[in-house]
């Protein structure tokens, strides 16, 4: 808006100056007045301003000669100089308006690559593609010195930043500045990405406040010939006998290969492993990238044995690497699982890899065994029993306790009350005694046995056991004897009667 305002002002001054020049020179020359379309067709306005400038320059030189010959006064000479100055300023403003209108910046290359430390970076190549250089000089026959003083082939103060879809800046530095961007001399700017994206918006502000933004798809560094591998769950704790899943993101950085093999190295042979597709159970051994799909996903399944081994030690981390090898390098190296690799060796191979880690964790498991869970007693009796506590898990049990939920007013005795520790496959015995109250009603009663412990700082509980206790009714001994004697007498009488009946 400032340039347009100055343009109108300059046109007005030029019109007044030409009228004054016509008066001073006394010549019958005719000058084209200011045309309102000059602002719409700036190149034609520039031609008009150049013509007026050349006329004013010629008249200024003529007036200088007349002044030296004392044909005109100092006032007339000053008026001629003012007219020339106004025409010169108007011409320069018209030239700048055309140059600013034609200034154009483009992005010739945007390459996304990975630093050795794993960070994502973008390398932008920015070029000044303005068309107002040799073409303007040839078209307008512009004075070289004046043209160079305006520097039409230079765009000053170019500010560049990278935005996401929400127009938030995701580049570091947030904004990069190029002081002078010359035509034919592209400049490179290197950014660190704060958000890992493949599609970004490049926002630019330059020259007199002009803005431009371009939404672009980032190129991959084709010279790398490898796949970048990432995993968010790079370190996991897994119980023995269980499996861990590592989600892998594979991003192609290659202009040579598009088929890659998947391998795992430095993992003990007692640990099963395989790659599979993220959806479904299809197992993978190779991946193929296409032009439309340069980022793929895979899952690495790792299964631990049920018991510790010489290679799988409890609470000791096992680091390993997932590799993505180009087909030609796979054929060159052969089997890569026959040896252990260091991170430096893999980096020297220039292949895609990610360091993963699995930490075997055990978990104790309580098994309660008892030879008898049904007992029958007389009133006033006591149930004496025992249970065996077995750790059939994959880690030590600590602070094992056996608790009994008994009926109201019953007494219990548990020895020992607590077991400090119980190793894998170790067993110990706990003695229990349950005594009902003296006035208990005959019948069946239940006692629930509950077991608890800790393993690797986690609470562990065993399956509850139910003990059934029958309290029998108390019998009268005298009545029992009388009944027995009556039964014996009855049987004896029947026998005697039968003998006598047979003798008759």
Report the pLDDT averaged over residues 470-487: 77
134: pLDDT confidence band, cut at 50, 70 and 90?
low
Of 166-170, 239-243, 415-419, 429-433, give the lowest mean pLDDT range.
Answer: 239-243
The predicted pLDDT at position 90 comes to 84
Residue 324 lies in a domain: yes
Which residues constitute the domain of residue 243? 226-361
Distance CA 5, CA 12 (A): 11
Per-residue pLDDT reduced to its tens digit, 155-177: 888 999 999 999 999 999 999 99
The predicted pLDDT at position 490 comes to 84
Tell me: pLDDT of 265 over 80.
Answer: yes
Residue with tokens 């007219």: 83
CA-CA-CA-CA torsion sign (45, 47, 53, 56): negative
Residues facing 106 on adjacent strands? 127
Q: Are 468 and 422 in contact (CB under 8 A)?
A: no
Tell me: pLDDT of 97 over 80.
Answer: no
DSSP string, 464-476: PEEEEEEEPPPPP
- For the record, the structure tokens of 200 come out as 């970004």
* 457 and 425 assigned to the same domain: yes
Tell me: pLDDT of 27 over 70.
Answer: no
* 357 and 407 assigned to the same domain: no
Residue 497 lies in a domain: no
The predicted pLDDT at position 504 comes to 63
Tell me: pLDDT of 406 over 90.
Answer: yes
229: pLDDT confidence band, cut at 50, 70 and 90?
confident
Question: Domain with 246 in it: what CATH number?
Answer: 2.60.40.10
* 98 and 116 assigned to the same domain: no
Decide which of 201 and 307 is more confident.
Answer: 201
Select the highest-mean-pLDDT range: 213-222, 302-311, 373-382, 426-435. 426-435
Residue 271 lies in a domain: yes
Question: Is the omega angle on the peptide bond into residue 143 within 30 degrees of 0, that is, cis?
Answer: no
- For the record, the structure tokens of 294 come out as 């340069």
The predicted pLDDT at position 424 comes to 86
- Among left, alpha and beta (phi > 0; psi -120 to 50; other), residue 462 is beta
Residue 293 lies in a domain: yes
User: In the chain, how many domains are there?
Assistant: 4
| C-alpha separations of 341 from 329, 346, 501 in Å | 16, 7, 108
- For the record, the structure tokens of 367 come out as 């098994």
Question: How is residue 151 annotated by DSSP?
Answer: -
Decide which of 157 and 292 is more confident.
Answer: 157
* 247 and 340 assigned to the same domain: yes
């Amino acid at each position: 808006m400032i340039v347009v305002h100055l343009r109108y002002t300059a046109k007005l001054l030029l019109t007044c100056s030409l009228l004054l020049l016509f008066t001073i020179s006394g010549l019958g020359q005719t000058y084209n007045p200011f045309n309102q379309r000059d602002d719409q067709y700036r190149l034609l306005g520039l031609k008009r301003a150049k013509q007026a400038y050349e006329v004013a320059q010629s008249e200024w030189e003529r007036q200088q000669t007349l002044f030296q010959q004392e044909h005109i006064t100092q006032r007339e000479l000053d008026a001629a100089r003012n007219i020339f100055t106004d025409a010169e300023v108007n011409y320069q403003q018209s030239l700048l308006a055309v140059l600013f209108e034609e200034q154009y910046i483009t992005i010739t290359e945007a390459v996304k690559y990975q630093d050795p430390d794993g960070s994502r970076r973008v390398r932008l190549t920015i070029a000044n593609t303005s068309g107002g250089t040799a073409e303007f000089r040839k078209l307008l026959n512009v004075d070289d010195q004046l043209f160079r003083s305006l520097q039409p082939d230079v765009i000053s103060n170019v500010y560049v930043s990278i935005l996401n879809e929400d127009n938030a800046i995701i580049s570091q530095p947030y904004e990069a500045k190029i002081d002078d961007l010359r035509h034919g001399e592209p400049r490179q700017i290197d950014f660190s990405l704060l958000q890992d994206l493949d599609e970004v918006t490049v926002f630019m502000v330059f020259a007199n406040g002009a803005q431009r933004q371009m939404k672009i798809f980032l190129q991959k560094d084709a010279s790398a010939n490898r796949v970048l591998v990432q995993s968010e769950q790079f370190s996991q704790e897994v119980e023995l006998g269980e499996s861990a899943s590592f989600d892998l993101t594979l991003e192609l950085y290659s202009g040579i290969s598009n088929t890659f093999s998947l391998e795992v190295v430095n993992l003990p042979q007692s640990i099963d492993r395989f790659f599979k597709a993220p959806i479904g159970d299809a197992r993978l051994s190779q991946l193929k990238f296409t032009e439309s799909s340069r980022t793929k996903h895979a899952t690495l399944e790792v299964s631990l044995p049920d018991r510790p081994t010489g290679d799988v030690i409890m609470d000791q981390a096992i680091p390993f690497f997932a590799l993505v090898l180009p087909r030609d390098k796979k054929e060159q190296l052969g089997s890569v699982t026959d040896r252990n690799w260091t991170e430096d060796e893999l980096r020297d191979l220039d292949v895609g890899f990610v360091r993963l880690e699995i930490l075997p964790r055990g978990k104790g498991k309580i098994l309660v065994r008892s030879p008898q869970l049904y007992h029958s007693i007389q009133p006033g009796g006591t149930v004496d029993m025992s249970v065996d506590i077995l750790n059939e898990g994959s880690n030590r049990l600590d602070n094992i306790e056996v608790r009994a939920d008994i009926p109201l007013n019953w007494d219990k005795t548990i020895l020992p009350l607590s077991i400090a520790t119980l190793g894998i496959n170790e067993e110990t015995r706990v003695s229990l005694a349950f005594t009902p109250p003296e006035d208990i009603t005959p019948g069946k009663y239940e006692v629930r046995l509950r077991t608890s412990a800790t393993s690797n700082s986690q609470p562990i509980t065993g399956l509850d056991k139910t003990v059934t206790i029958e309290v029998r009714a108390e019998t009268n001994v005298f009545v029992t004897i009388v009944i027995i004697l009556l039964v014996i007498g009855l049987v004896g009488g029947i026998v005697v009667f039968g003998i006598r009946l047979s003798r008759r």
